[in-house]
Structure 1
Amino acid sequence: MAVFLWLTLAVFLPGCAGQKNLVVLMPEEGKTSGEVTVSNSQGSQVLKQPWEATKFSVAGGRPSAPVIMDETEVRRIFAGPLSAMPLPPAKYLLYFEQNTSNLTPESTALLAEIIEAINRRQPAELSVIGHTDTVGTPEDNYQLGLQRAGTVTDLLKSLGATPAIIETGSHGEGNLLIMTGDETPEPRNRRVEVIVR
């Protein structure tokens, strides 16, 4: 079953025909838009594309045929509600040296950026999930994934991260980024996925 998110914004627009409701389907970063049906006693319209909109009179009347609105205009009309929305999740991949919980230098350099993302989202939620390549047993790799997640969590805390919620876990070798055979030392699979909400 597909899961989708959409945002419906309604405002009263002054006009010579009286007050109108405006409903706009907003895109969500990195996701395919769903659809929304706007209905009243006079009829309905289906919005299926990002920035698609329909209007209808407060006093009644069928919702108008959908039109694509200019993003800049939508953001101007809905500036207040949009400014109150939470920031989208920030996602990071941090990589590790083989068979260790030592971050690569490039990944260590990303920690400051993650701290900034946490500070911009207060109260923040943090998900830290460890992964491994296929070298070693599944049991050992699960534990190594946990160690990696713990290392990242401890480093972020030592740098001043104060998220309200921290979830840590491990997929071990069970959720490979790059599909490989058993006992394959693939650097891109030796990672921690960090999501800041």
Structure 2
Amino acid sequence: MNNNTRFFALVLPAAIAAALLVACGSPPVKPLPAPGPAVPGSAPGPVYDQAASGAARSWSPQMETVERQLAAGLNGTPMVLARTTDERLWLTLPGDVAFEPNRSALKPAATGLLDKVAAVLRGQPQLELRIVGHTDSKGSAAGNDALSLDRAASARDWLVARGLSPVKIGVAGRGSRDPVGSNDDEAGRAANRRVEILIGERALRSGSK
């Protein structure tokens, strides 16, 4: 073996080993994170938030199914369906079809919409709901707090009567704290007399929605 051959015989394997060591020790290139889901607005809008529907999905197949079924069942109705940034569905039952002023009894139009919601959610026992009631600003703060809680309870009781588990439904009342319309006119006050239903796969605590 001549000198050149001996050199390559000694150096080449070491060079290959070093290259392999560098390659194996390098961390893989990670893909860029996908954009999160859109934040739904509080104002009335289409039943299904199309901007949110184009966002990257990180939900389970079950949540995907529920979202599609609710969107189909509520299409053409006043009920608003959107997504939250913490991966829950957000349904809004508008005040003009939900409640009379100073009343917690559901209007017939509202019960019909809740029937559509119950028809989808009955087949999804892994889901948990948080129902939040709201009022307009008429009356006292304490009275509105109690009324908003009663409105949430009315929606819960209707859903329970149609087959949903009561242990998986939490209720809360926000009074007049979160208006979506002006309390200076009847149209705005009607919009504020609403119920919101948050749907998710994990336990929903008693904190803010």
Q: Same fold (TM over 0.5)?
A: yes
Q: Give 1:120 shift.
A: 5.0
- Please give the per-residue CA displacement for 1:104-153, whole angstroms capped at 9, x wherever unaligned: 33322111222134235431110111110111111111111111111111
2-structure distance, mates of 1:184, 1:150: 24
Q: Does the C-alpha gap of structure 1 residues 90 and 106 become closer, same or farther in structure 2, counting only changes over 3 Å?
A: farther
Offset, 1:24: 5.1
Distance 1:150 1:142, change over 3 A: same
Aligned to 1:187: 190
Distance in 2, matches of 1:179 and 1:185, equals 4
Q: Of residues 110, 115, 119 in structure 2, which corresponds to 1:112?
A: 115
Equivalent in the alignment of 1:25: 33
Q: 8 Å contact 2:180–2:188 — kept in the other structure?
A: no
Identity of aligned residues (%): 29
TM-score (norm 2): 0.53
* Residue 82 of structure 1, CA deviation: 7.0
Question: Which structure has more strand as a fraction of its residues?
Answer: 1
Instruction: Give the alignment of 1:47-66 within 5 angstroms.
Output: none
Q: Which has the higher helix share?
A: 2
1:60-96 C-alpha deviation (Å, 9 max, x unpaired):
xxxxxxxxxxx9xx99xxxxx9765744533222221
Task: Report the CA distance shift for 1:85/1:184 in structure 2 as closer, same or farther (over 3 A).
Answer: closer
CA distance in 1, matches of 2:143, 2:35: 41
Q: Work out whether 1:101 is the aligned partner of 2:104.
A: yes
Per-residue deviation, 1:191: 1.1
Larger Rg: 2
Q: How does 1:150-165 map to 2 (within 5 A)?
A: 150-162=153-165, 165=168
Gaps of 5+ in 2: 1-27, 41-53, 65-86, 201-209
**CA-atom RMSD in angstroms:** 3.6
In structure 1, the residue corresponding to 2:37 is in which secondary structure? coil
1:30-55 deviation per Cα after TM superposition (whole angstroms, max 9, x unaligned) = 249xxxxxxxxxxxxxxxxxxxxxxx
AA at the equivalent of 1:30: A
Which residue of structure 1 lines up, in the alignment, with residue 142 of structure 2?
139
Contact residue 127 and residue 196 of structure 1 kept, 8 A: yes
Secondary structure at the counterpart of residue 116 of structure 1: helix
Higher-RCO chain (CA-CA 8 Å, sequence separation at least 6): 2
TM-score (normalizing by structure 1): 0.56
Q: Distance in 2 between matches of 1:147 and 1:82?
A: 32
Task: Tell me the CA shift for residue 27 of structure 1.
Answer: 3.8
Structure 1 segments unaligned to the other structure (5+ residues): 1-19, 33-70, 76-80
SS of residue in 2 equivalent to 1:110: helix
> Which residue identity does 2:31 align to in structure 1?
V
Name the aligned partner's letter for residue 89 of structure 2.
A
Kept in 1, the 8 Å contact 2:136–2:192? The answer is yes
1:21 deviates by: 6.1
Aligned position for 1:90: 89
| C-alpha distance in 1 between matches for 2:177 and 2:60 | 39
Q: Distance in 1 between matches of 2:187 and 2:32?
A: 49
